[in-house]
Structure 1
């Protein structure tokens, strides 16, 4: 009988990182860091923002996989290291707790008010979603609150602790809701089969894939309305492309299993973020 092989430390580390939802964690961290640079947080302040947001995102990602371990096994999510047997839920749960403990002092180092906004906004909303709000019609609210507080986290760390412009908060909140819909689209059937009935699951795949690019497009509209004096030709070009992509993803008929609406939503979101960052210096 051959001995049972054990994963190497490198393999376990890779599985742990894969369980942290690395793509959205890096995307949210990068977006917030670039916004911090654009608003004048400086090299040190921007690095602190990046470390705070990354720790918070890691805690949210790991807690999601730890809490959803049984459901992921039932739905055959072999892309999830816990469901695939590469890690135990306990290991991932401990990692989530440790990341949360690290996130608290890092966030508060940005200033008491800024840190509290991050912890009570993005981090608390992410954990609340994982702990049960994902199964309710209020599921988009957690994303709206979480993303909507990121501009405030960045600007409140500046001298004088200024609040961000209204359009920055609304745009970030809409991008968050869009991110929720994009994330839910591929797994709606599996979610319904395991009792997850958040807003995307309740409205169904067809409605969700139509609504998703429109939410991203609404973020573009808020930017154009909120910063009329700062819109230049490159911004108008980006906005025009976003409109075209959103229309192509929703108005043009597609097969039920087509990935075009999903890809249109992702591209529209990317263009909205580009437009948002074009106006980053006006956030304060």
Structure 2
């Protein structure tokens, strides 16, 4: 590879849009948004509503990702390179806060466009996630905000409509419980890459406690099985009783 090519790639990687994309936790955002869009499609929602769900959740996840890295930037900077643009000094916090504010201003009308009730439910879920970036995350009850946020996803879908209408019915209780279980599994999977740093910082959240007892490798397997079973159960229960009551 020539020197000019390497320089172009290095420069592209450090442009503000790319840095913002990296700080938004794009893999988690894309997987969550795609999963919700697929769930909306399976539940029989028309194409335009599936696209709206995808856009809403994608922006909401970016808001969560930026907020997470902003909150953690001082702690992450203790282990350089951290691989995070904010902690490594490549992305200015003011720029990230501006993007976060724009994301919030965008996600509110997107959410309400799914229906007033559905939109409010999604915004509450998003708010729980933001609170989870600050509170409970370092202790035994770190899983609680993840479970609570995910438990509202079925209601977001079951009440979903188009153009701000209030439509739909409450979700099946079993779907809510299984979505909460899925949230716990996702929490563990997301925490695994940072276990060493969290341990050095004195954190004692649920994934770290479990990893200290059974080992990180076994915890990964358990979390994968747990998450897969939750997903399969959601599909089976949704097929058997539907999403709505």
Q: Which residue of the partner structure matches residue 14 of structure 1?
A: 18
Q: 1:147 aligns with which of 140, 144, 150?
A: 150
Q: Which residue of the partner structure matches residue 231 of structure 2?
A: 273
Query: Do the aligned partners of 1:184 and 1:200 also contact (CA within 8 Å) in 2?
Result: yes
1:31 positional shift? 1.1
1:171 positional shift? 0.6
CA distance in 2, matches of 1:136, 1:265: 18
1:89 positional shift? 2.2
SS at match of 1:63: helix
CA distance in 1, matches of 2:199, 2:182: 24
CA distance in 1, matches of 2:207, 2:88: 26
Q: Which residue of the partner structure matches residue 163 of structure 1?
A: 170
CA distance in 2, matches of 1:197, 1:113: 36
Greater shift in the superposed pair: 274-283 or 39-48: 274-283
1:1-284 matched pairs, under 5 angstroms: 7-8=11-12, 11-76=15-80, 78-121=82-125, 123-158=126-161, 160-201=167-208, 203-207=209-213, 256=215, 259-266=217-224, 268-270=226-228, 272-281=230-239, 282-284=242-244
TM-score w.r.t. the length of structure 1 is 0.73
> Residues 44 and 278 (structure 1 numbering): CA distance in 2 closer, same or farther, change over 3 Å?
farther
CA distance in 2, matches of 1:10, 1:162: 46
Q: Which residue of the partner structure matches residue 230 of structure 1?
A: none
Query: Do the aligned partners of 2:52 and 2:110 also contact (CA within 8 Å) in 1?
Result: yes
CA distance in 1, matches of 2:81, 2:122: 31
Query: Do the aligned partners of 1:65 and 1:92 also contact (CA within 8 Å) in 2?
Result: no
1:277 positional shift? 3.1
- Cα RMSD of the aligned pairs, angstroms, is 2.5
1:274 positional shift? 4.2
Q: How many residues align?
A: 230
Query: Do the aligned partners of 1:156 and 1:163 also contact (CA within 8 Å) in 2?
Result: yes
Q: What's the CA shift string for 1:170-207, capped at 9, x where partnerless?
A: 01100101111222233223113334443334x25234
1:150 positional shift? 0.5
> Residues 82 and 206 (structure 1 numbering): CA distance in 2 closer, same or farther, change over 3 Å?
same
Q: Where do 5+ consecutive residues of structure 1 fail to align?
A: 211-255
